[in-house]
Structure 1
């Protein structure tokens, strides 16, 4: 097994996910991937004053505000759940985006969250205009 493959496997184990760019960089420019991952390790993965759950909530919030690619946001929601965060805790973090980033970012985050957690929906029992007529 190559050093790059071992590194990607270790990333998957420690993070709980591997993004497509990690896979590409492992094959195309392994030293650059290592350098980028060292920064992520220090700022995000290593527990210092903030624990991993708190950092994950902040990461989910920042990805929501930036409207990061939905698979990336969803993977962090899944990591948060695997760390023991409740769906409601994650939703509350996403809700923080509303006053600062606006409704579009908020809706984007809620949509990703709902897809991951299988959120229930209440449908109107009255006739509504769908906007497609």
Structure 2
């Protein structure tokens, strides 16, 4: 990886608060394409225009939930939302929007990712039940 590519990845981490595996791979393998893709992300997501960064982050969490994006990616955006000052409840409400349109599976996926970041202790039933997990 060139010094320019390394500096670019470092700047991405500083500005976004995260870098994804594909960012690191593309920096090493095809730096110009990473720059082009990142330009689109900067314009649509990172730069404040009419929507502020918090609103965009909630929309990003919702869209990643609906698409059932890789869990590390979804978790990183939940963490960024928290770092931006959004409450766990605000983030959960964004995930809940997935329920009527994308269905219970996408919603459950988002809730599980959210819980793993915010560490909510689930309530367990006091009666014996099956685990509720697919086996």
TM over 0.5: yes
List aligned pairs for 1:15-26, cutoff 5 A: 15-26=16-27
1:5 counterpart residue number: 6
- Distance in 1 between the 2:85 and 2:53 partners? 10
Superposition deviation, residue 121 in structure 1: 0.8
Corresponding residue pairs, total = 132
1:29-62, Cα deviation, whole Å (9 max, x unpaired): 1000000000000000000000000000000000
Instruction: Decide whether aligned partners of structure 1 residues 127 and 12 sit closer, same or farther in structure 2, where only a CA change above 3 A counts.
Output: same
Superposition deviation, residue 3 in structure 1: 0.6
1:49 counterpart residue number: 50
**What is the alpha-carbon root mean square deviation over aligned residues?**
1.3
- Distance in 2 between the 1:119 and 1:130 partners? 18
- Distance in 1 between the 2:18 and 2:79 partners? 9
Task: Note if 1:66 corresponds to 2:67.
Answer: yes
Q: Helix, strand or coil for the counterpart of 1:11?
A: helix
- Normalising by structure 1, we get a TM-score of 0.96
- Distance in 2 between the 1:30 and 1:130 partners? 46
Task: Note if 1:33 corresponds to 2:51.
Answer: no
Task: Note if 1:118 corresponds to 2:114.
Answer: no
1:38-94, Cα deviation, whole Å (9 max, x unpaired): 000000000000000000000000000000000000000000000000000000000
- Distance in 1 between the 2:25 and 2:45 partners? 21
- Normalising by structure 2, we get a TM-score of 0.95
Superposition deviation, residue 126 in structure 1: 1.4
Task: Give runs of ≥4 in structure 1 deviating > 3 Å.
Answer: 129-132
Superposition deviation, residue 129 in structure 1: 3.5
Task: Note if 1:82 corresponds to 2:74.
Answer: no
Instruction: Decide whether aligned partners of structure 1 residues 130 and 8 sit closer, same or farther in structure 2, where only a CA change above 3 A counts.
Output: closer
Structure 1: 5+ residue stretches without partners: none
